[in-house]
Each structure stands twice: as structure tokens, then as C-alpha cells.
Amino acid sequence: MKFSDQNGILSAQIPQAAGFTMSSPQPLTSLNNKRILLGISGGIAAYKSAELIRRLMDHGADVRVVMTRAAQEFITPLTLQALSGNPVHTELLDPEAEAGMGHIELARWADLVLIAPASADLMARLAQGKADDLLTTLFLATPAQVVLAPAMNQGMWRNASTQANAKLLEERSVTLLGPAEGSQACGDVGPGRMLEPDELAALTAQQFQSGLLAGKKVVITAGPTREAIDPVRYISNHSSGKMGYALAEAAAEAGATTILISGPTQLATPDRVQRLDVTSAQEMYDATMASLEGCDLFIASAAVADYRPAQLAEQKIKKTGQDTMTIELVKNPDIVTAVAASQPKPYTVGFAAETQDVVSYARGKLERKKLDLVIANDVSQAGIGFNSDRNAVTLVWPTDEETLAENSKTQLARDLIARISAKIT
């Protein structure tokens, strides 16, 4: 936000969101997956903060709330907790907070700190660098961008001290949104009203760059499946899940709402990813089909067992005197084929882990299963593929191919998401 000086009074020049109108707001995809720490200071405009929480969450933001003591005189923490779905933080030295996230962790958590309303008193304390409550402490501690939505009586906004504080905060890279002009609770008319929640949400979205997959829903399968023979034995494979987890992380980084359906692994869940744990191929199939509503992109990177034992022994199978043992196997459901046949169909990506004729087999899989892309890799090569942190792949589209040289799975995942996003956005 910029200010112009008219007769010694700063006049707000509020940037408008591209395509934003109050009567027909556009989807704010750049808010998807973003962590917004909403600070609320004391003022009658605090009642608007409840609606602001809803608007931010409607566009995919995760919102946590910090309130000053004065703010609690205007709206209750319980109301905002119910709306945000998260505990509301009110005290600097709250034993529960310090035992959990802690105020420093809360400062690190945020992608952006939005203080709405920002009272004249709070702006003065922020300008002075005070840290005498939780909100002012977070302001000093956070590495995130800070945005203020001033709200106060028109006389307080026009006062030279408030104007000086506003200029000083802007010089320190704090963004001010508003205030707007109009009638106020006290009966005065003039600048000082907090912007409306819809407009604040749109202007907050402008603070972020839209990711490649902003506003998209991505479902990814990863890891192996285990097909039980008896209560202690199973059929499985060598998949570590590392490629699928890297893809989930890259998709979330690109702004997508990301669901990771994972077979048994020892990997930590990527940040901002919803993880569904499954064991068998049937469980993975069920979880996948249940997650398809609204799905824009499906990536089948899991190494799903093609077959499972026809009968599951209820007790551990004991050794016999015979040298051989026969287990009858039956086919598992083909997850990626089922997704490709679903309506509406998401952009469907399969993996082909091969040991010979890699591209030929991948193209056959692409055509047979009616996929949009197959990512093929040669698992016979030492140092890449299963259980490795590195990989090299060939992308096989219906009319094109591209080879990505060996790289870390983390970087390779980013490269893959960039190429896939170009096809679906």
C-alpha cells in the first residue's frame, strides 16, 4: 500500500486484486495451502474478523488467531476458535501454548501475519518495537510478511502520531491495507473504517504469488502394498515411497490441495499434505476412489501388488514335511485404470518401473490404460529407483517423450510437477 499526502494527512491508495470486484469476487487460488496468522486488536471492527476468517478459509488458507486482551472485550475467543477450527492464542506465557507450539513456533509457522483490525494503540506499539503481549512479540519474532488493516476513529487516523507510525511501519516493509472512508460506529464520517472481509481476503491473496497448481486438488499414491498370507506373513515389494512423497511435497509447494495415499513406509508426512495410510491394494483402491471428488490430477506412483492370496489363513501357517508350498493368487483391482475411467476424469499419471524395454513397456501401459502420461524408470540401474534418494525418468505422453537426467528425487519431483502443471493449467 502507498500513501499520498493531502494537507498533511496520509490518504490510503489501496491496490486492487486483479479481476476483483465486490459484487463478483474471483477465486483466490494463491491463498490455497497458505498459513495465515490473524492478529486481532481491540476495536469495534473486531466483529468483522469472524467473517474474514471464513473468507480466508473458503479460499483454502489455514488460519490461526491471536487476540489481544482488548480484542476479547469485543468478540470471544470461543467464537473465533469455532470458526477457524484451531485454538485461539491470547497469552504470551500460556503454559499450554509453551508446551505445544510455543509463541516462537507460532511466529515461524505463518506464511503471512495479518492484523485486522489494527488499532491506533497497536500500531503505536508496533512502531516502537514493543513486545509486551503475544501479538507484539510475534510481530518482532516472525520472518513472515506482516499486513495491517487499520481501524479507528477518523480523528485518531488523522492524528500526526498515527500518521507518523503508519509511515514508519511502511518503511519497515509492513503493508497497510486501508483504512476505508465512511460512517463510523461513533457517528463520525471519514477515513478509519476497516476494509470489508471480502476485500481484505482479495488483497491478502495479492501478497502471494500463485503457485503452478494453486487451487488444484492432487491425489498421489505412494509406497508399497502388503498382501497378507496369514497373520504374520505378506507379499510386498521394495518400494520405499520416496518418489511419491517427493511428488506430494512438490505438489503442495506448488499450491495444490494434496492428498497422499500411502502404503507402509518409514517416511515423515510432507508439510501441508493430508496423508491417508493404507496397507493392502484393496485399501489403496478404496481410499483412492473415495478421494476423487474434485480431483484435478492423480499420480499413481505406488508400487501396488498385482496379485493377492486368494485365501487369508486365519492362523499362522505351519511348516509341513513337503518341500514346496503353493499359494493361489487372484488379481487386485487396477487403481490407475479405474481412475482413468472415472467421470469426470482427472489428468491421470501412471508410473512404469521396468527392467528392460522401458519406454516400449511404458507406451504400452499408456495406451492400454488410457492414461495421460506415464513416468518410466529403469529399476535395474544401480543407485536409482527403489530405496534410493535419486532417480532418472522418461516421460511418455501420447505424442511425445522427454528424458529427465538423474537427479535427487526432491528436485526431480519439482521438475515433474512443473511439466505436468503446464498440461493441466
pLDDT of the residue at 97? 53
Q: 181, 97, 195: which is closest to 138 by C-alpha?
A: 97
The active-site residue out of 104, 140, 185, 186 is 186
Q: Please choose, from the candidates 411, 401, 409, the residue with its C-alpha nearest in 3D space to the C-alpha of residue 375.
A: 401
CA-based nearest residue to 138, from 92, 78, 175: 92
DSSP letter for each residue of 18-46: TT--SSSPPP-GGGTT-EEEEEE-SSTTH
Q: Where are the beta strands (DSSP E) in 167-314?
A: 175-176, 180-183, 189-193, 217-222, 227-230, 233-235, 257-262, 273-277, 297-300, 307-309
DSSP character for 111?
S
Please provide the distance, in angstroms rounded to a whole number, between the alpha carbons at the two ends of the chain. Answer: 30
> How far is residue 158's CA from residue 192's CA, in Å, rounded to a whole number?
9
Parse the chain into domains and list their residue ranges: 2-205, 217-424
CA 118 – CA 323 distance, rounded (Å): 79
The pTM assigned to this predicted structure is: 0.78
**Tens-level pLDDT at each residue, the chain (425 residues):** 444 444 444 444 444 433 333 333 456 788 988 999 999 999 999 999 999 999 999 998 999 999 999 999 999 999 999 999 999 999 887 665 544 456 788 888 999 999 999 999 999 999 999 999 999 999 999 999 999 999 999 899 999 999 999 999 999 999 999 898 877 666 777 788 999 999 999 999 989 877 899 889 999 999 999 999 999 999 999 899 999 999 999 999 999 999 999 999 999 999 999 999 999 999 999 999 999 999 999 999 999 999 999 999 999 988 887 888 899 999 999 999 999 999 999 999 999 988 788 899 999 999 999 999 999 988 777 777 676 888 899 999 999 999 999 888 999 999 999 999 999 97
Cα-flanking dihedrals φ and ψ of residue 386, to 5°?
-55, 135
Residue-level pLDDT at 262: 98
User: What is the structure's pLDDT at 25?
Assistant: 44
Evaluate whether 149 touches 195 at the Cβ level (below 8 Å): yes
Could you identify the residue written with the cell 487460488? 29
Is 295 among the catalytic positions? Answer: no
Superfamily for 217-424?
CoaB-like (3.40.50.10300)
The distance from CA 221 to its chain's CA centroid, rounded to whole angstroms, is 17
Q: Supply the pLDDT for residue 115.
A: 97
List C-alpha distances in Å: 166 to 126, 156, 341, 397.
10, 12, 57, 54
Can 2-205 and 217-424 be said to share one CATH topology?
yes
**What 3-state class would DSSP assign to 351?**
strand
Classify domain 2-205 by CATH number: 3.40.50.1950
Helical ranges in 175-280 per DSSP H? 197-205, 242-253
